[in-house]
Amino acid sequence: MIFVAKNIRAARVNLLMNDYAAGLPSPLSFIGLADAIIRDLGLTSWSGRALPILHRVEPSDGRTKPEMENKSGSFSPVETMEDLVGSVDLSLILDIPECDSDTDLSGALMRRRIAGGLIQNDQVDVTVPPPDGSAFKGLRRGYAILPPDPARPDACAISTGDEASFTGILDTLFPDERKPGSGWFVPVAAGYHLLEDPDETPARIRRRDPNIPHVFAEPVLGLAELVSVRNPRLTGLTEAGLSSLLWSWTVEGDYLFGHASYLSNATHKENIVHG
């Protein structure tokens, strides 16, 4: 069952995705939101999928200097400067397996956070549309954050910062011309490259979940495509087509991605088998 949560407002949303991408909320944060909802409802963890539609993103100017205070005859900062945060208006297409109640989902969304930003709505309107392109009908104008098309290997490129892969992403990000009907490519946090074997990491203190190991990882840069909700590419989707666009966790070797499209470009530096 597909749900559409309309016109969500969130404040102080983190717009820093990782070391390489900033300016929009990370698509990975919406998978995290789906999993937080799943845990609230007592359903199977890590099974949620999401597709965000951005209506408005307004970065906060923040402070240019931290507030200072006189301490022992010298002035010292008493706060840190704001990171890149902002206010975001968005809608969400959600797949929450085992959930069949729009009322339960609406309640679970209340006072949740998106990339650290608290949802401001007094009530979230959740509907159950047909699980195809009809899900985009009736939405405010906006842009869906789509994962890359597997038919375009250049759009599925990933990078952890080396010059060759980074240059390849830039070539796709700034093409000489845009094809008719295409959206706008944007850099995004595509996932993580694990630097440790989860089965062999020590039990570190203060980890959030005693059943999930804390593993050091490096960020992975990828591309996503912003496509208007009025574009026939979306409104004309079949059920299978819409399902293929939903962001969800995908594990391959020592890589953890927000969508399976990035798998074809994953170069494994280590042979790590996950438990």
CA atoms of 165 and 266, how far apart (whole Å): 11
Closest CA to 30 of 159, 261, 203, 189: 189
CA dihedral 207, 26, 158, 2 (to 10 degrees): 100
The whole-number pLDDT of residue 186 equals 96
Q: Are 241 and 227 in contact (CB under 8 A)?
A: no
Side-chain-side CA neighbours of residue 184 (13 Å): 7
CA atoms of 5 and 50, how far apart (whole Å): 11
Q: Are 142 and 53 in contact (CB under 8 A)?
A: yes
Q: How many CB atoms lie within 10 A of CB 175?
A: 11
Q: Percent of the chain having pLDDT more than 70?
A: 92
3-state SS, residue 119: strand
Closest CA to 248 of 33, 17, 47: 47
For range 212-233, the mean pLDDT:
94
Q: Are 119 and 111 in contact (CB under 8 A)?
A: yes
Which pLDDT band, with edges at 50, 70 and 90, does 270 fall under? very low
Closest CA to 246 of 14, 30, 5: 30
Q: How many CB atoms lie within 10 A of CB 127?
A: 13
Q: Percent of the chain having pLDDT more than 90?
A: 70
pTM of this prediction? 0.88
Q: Which token pair is 111?
A: 């006072």
The whole-number pLDDT of residue 64 equals 55
Q: Which token pair is 68?
A: 């200072």
Which pLDDT band, with edges at 50, 70 and 90, does 274 fall under? very low
Mean residue pLDDT across the chain: 89
The whole-number pLDDT of residue 271 equals 36
- Summarize pLDDT for 30-67 with one digit per residue, the tens: 999 999 999 999 999 999 999 999 999 999 876 656 66
Q: How many CB atoms lie within 10 A of CB 123?
A: 9
The whole-number pLDDT of residue 264 equals 80
- Summarize pLDDT for 77-128 with one digit per residue, the tens: 765 555 789 999 999 999 999 999 999 999 999 989 999 999 999 999 999 9
CA atoms of 25 and 83, how far apart (whole Å): 13
Place of tokens 């008719």: 180
